Structure formats: C-alpha cells, structure tokens
C-alpha cells in the first residue's frame, strides 16, 4: 500500500485565512500537513507550535499518485499565502500532468 506525507510549518495566511471544518477560519502563522494514502489526500492545518489539527474545508481530495498529492500540498500552501479564503484546489487546478 502506498503512503506519503508532507508538513510545511511557518506559512502566514493571506487575508481571508484558511476555512476549516472544525473551527471556521484559521489565520496567522500555520503549519500545513498533507497525508496521501494511495487513493486520496487529507489536508489539515494547525496554528504553528500547537497540537490541534483542523481539516481544511474540501479535504480529502482524490489523488491517484504521490506526485499529485505533493502538487496538491504545494498548491494549498500557495493559496493560503495568497489569501481570499484559501480553498482546496481541484486536481486540474494543480500542476499535475
């Protein structure tokens, strides 16, 4: 079974923050974590330095490959930094061939 994960700390949210399922919008210095189980990617955020994780609204996302899930992780980071209420991109919105 395939499995991979990525964690990127120290991401500052742009205006509008990151919508989450559990607590609404999260703003400020966050850590982004993506886990791929071979079929889908789960994306979550936490306030950097804390213990509690929140599901990014729109997660999980179907991903066929590890590369797709890595590209998804990067796309989420870029959307968080850009602001305007970061969302989970659809796969064709990422740089995946």
Report the candidate in 5, 16, 13, 8 with the shortest Cα–Cα distance to residue 42: 5
Please tell me what DSSP assigns to residue 91. Answer: G
Residue 79's pLDDT is 92
Q: 């789960």: which residue's tokens?
A: 42
Ranges of H-type helices in 1-97: 66-82
pLDDT of amino acid 2: 85
| Length of the chain in terms of residues written | 97
Task: Tell me the C-alpha to C-alpha distance, in Å, between residue 22 and each of 66, 95, 96.
Answer: 27, 29, 29
pLDDT in tens, 26-63: 999 999 999 999 999 999 999 999 999 999 999 999 99
Burial label for 27, CB within 10 Å (0-12, 13-18, 19+), is: middle
Q: What pTM did the predictor assign? A: 0.88
């Amino acid at each position: 079974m395939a499995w991979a994960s990525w964690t990127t700390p120290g991401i500052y949210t742009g205006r509008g923050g990151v919508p989450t399922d559990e607590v609404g919008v999260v703003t400020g210095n966050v850590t982004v974590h993506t886990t791929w189980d071979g079929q889908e990617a789960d994306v979550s955020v936490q306030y950097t330095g804390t213990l509690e994780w929140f599901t990014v609204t729109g997660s999980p996302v179907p991903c066929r490959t590890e590369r797709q899930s890595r590209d998804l992780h990067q796309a989420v980071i870029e959307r968080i930094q850009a602001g305007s209420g970061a969302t989970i991109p659809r796969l064709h919105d990422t740089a995946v061939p």
